[in-house]
Amino acid sequence: MMETLEMAEKIAVDAARAAGDAARKLFRHGFAVQEKDASGDLLTEADLAAEEAILSRIRSTFPDHQIRSEESGWSGVEGDWLWLVDPLDGTNNFAIGLPVFGVSITLIYRQEPVLGVIYDTIQDDMYVARKGGGATCNGEPLHMRPKPASSKLTLGWIQGHQVQNDPPAVRLRRHIEAASKRMLRLWAPTMQWALLARGNLDGIVLYNSEGDDLYSGLLLVQEAGGLVLQFDGTPFTGMHSEPYIIACPPDRKERLMCLVNEGLESSGKEQV
């Protein structure tokens, strides 16, 4: 397994950089864009170019591994190993010229994330996390920095496309925003996970957002020293089709749990 992970990390880092380079070139020189579905979600030629850069590298090195990718869906035969690929996390930002987007690649072994690679395309920052092996940014160890005491928290909010304006989610989001110093919604989840892993955020609340961009961020935060919990306070492990997550530094756990519980009570939604 270690040999597989060593090779997988090299391939994932190379693939993420190639995908980022393809997206960055198109971002600066123009690209075609279309609506992907009735929700208004977008697809650009950068998504497709970045995806091809990643999938071609994975398939040539690990032909027996299954892949789930944002644009092309599932491929390969089900087995112990699964790659999750979001070639352009933040497509809607990309499409309107907002330089907040990246690449996410995760390797899953028997339903557990074991390798996560996130590439911040504009900042040229490469984040890598190995289960039990720590996290790095551009090859330097990444440890969640302790944050000074603050009367209000700076938090990130992530919700799934299917949530839309679900009333309990709206009430919880509004409660958190009203009680926070600032609540970020970047529409590029991996960029928020990277901010948390670096210690720039006090926490992230995720409401039912399972996707190809999720598990690289969770692993990065965990390996940088953060907590990843379900809404009921128990550790979040494995993969979940409908995740409800609180992620934060250990010293922010009680405050953030209290804030979310208050919001859930006001929204009438039971803990999940």
Q: Known binding site: residues?
A: 70, 86, 88-89, 213
Q: Where are the beta strands (DSSP E) in the chain?
A: 33-35, 42-44, 66-69, 73-75, 81-89, 102-109, 112-120, 125-130, 134-137, 140-141, 154-159, 182-184, 203-207, 227-230, 244-248
Reference 9, options 74, 83, 78; nearest CA is 83
- Give the amino acid at 185: R
Rounded to an integer, what distance in angstroms lies between the CA atom of residue 161 and that of residue 253?
Answer: 27
Per DSSP, the residues of 20-36 read HHHHHHHHHH---EEE-
The pair of three-digit structure tokens given for residue 217, joined into one six-digit string: 């961020």
Q: Let me know the angle formed at the C-alpha of 228 by 169 and 203, rounded to the nearest 5 degrees.
A: 65
Annotated binding site for Mg(2+): 70, 86, 88-89, 213
Q: How far apart are CA 47 and CA 42, in angstroms?
A: 10
Helices 214-223 and 189-197 pack at an angle, to 10 degrees, of 0
Q: Is the dihedral of CA 250, 251, 252, 254 positive or negative?
A: positive
Give the residue from 101, 85, 86, 97 showing the smallest Cα distance to 187. 101
